[in-house]
Amino acid sequence: MTNPIQIFVDADACPVKDEIYKVAYRHEVPVMIVSNSHFRIPAHPLVKRTVVSDAFDAADDYIAERAGTGMIVITSDILLADRCIKTGSEVLAPNGKPFTADSIGAAVATRAIMADLRAGMGSENIGGPPPFGKNDRSKFLSSLDEMLVRLKRQT
């Protein structure tokens, strides 16, 4: 028997929560919002919230400990993505780019290089990611929908 599909959201800085709800309602898939702080979530039977402590990586640890097959994790945290991929979870960044077993190694390495550069040069000299825009939201909606359709076919 396969695990039921569910979506876990690393929610504190997630810019696509409304898009997640929209796709989850359409596919009738439960969503678990995991955060370090309280904020509003829809009053809907498919949406649940877990507020963890503000300890470093508490939300990541909560999600990673529950990760597994049939689970979609929404996060921009590369190290959390790596942990979840290793459990068989599908992982999607808020910009719609999936993290995969083939791509995660390069993402972790790039993250380490950028951290070293920031430490050596100061963050004001290193540009961050491009601003989050309308195209990112659209790509995210499409990617999440495709991921859910694929997982449903597998179950």
Domain ranges of the chain: 6-154
Read off the tokens for 127.
């540009």
Across 1-5, 40-44, 139-143, least confident range:
1-5
**Comparing C-alpha atoms, which of 96, 66, 63, 100 is closest to residue 80?**
63
Name the pairing type of β-strands 6-10 and 71-74. parallel
Q: How far apart are CA 144 and CA 111, in angstroms?
A: 24
pLDDT of 114 higher than 90: no
pTM for this model (two decimals): 0.84
Q: Name, in order, each residue with C-beta under 8 angstroms of 102's C-beta and a sequence gap of 6 or more.
A: none
Rounded to 5°, the CA angle 24-152-134 comes to 40
Name the pairing type of β-strands 47-51 and 6-10. unpaired
Tens digits of per-residue pLDDT, 84-110? Answer: 999 999 999 999 999 987 776 555 556
- CATH domain 6-154 topology: Rossmann fold (3.40.50)
Task: Identify the band that residue 1 occupies on the pLDDT scale cut at 50, 70 and 90.
Answer: very low
**Comparing C-alpha atoms, which of 116, 108, 106 is closest to residue 78?**
108
- Residues 92 and 72 sit within 8 Å (Cβ to Cβ): yes
Backbone angles phi and psi of 32, in degrees to 5: -110, 115
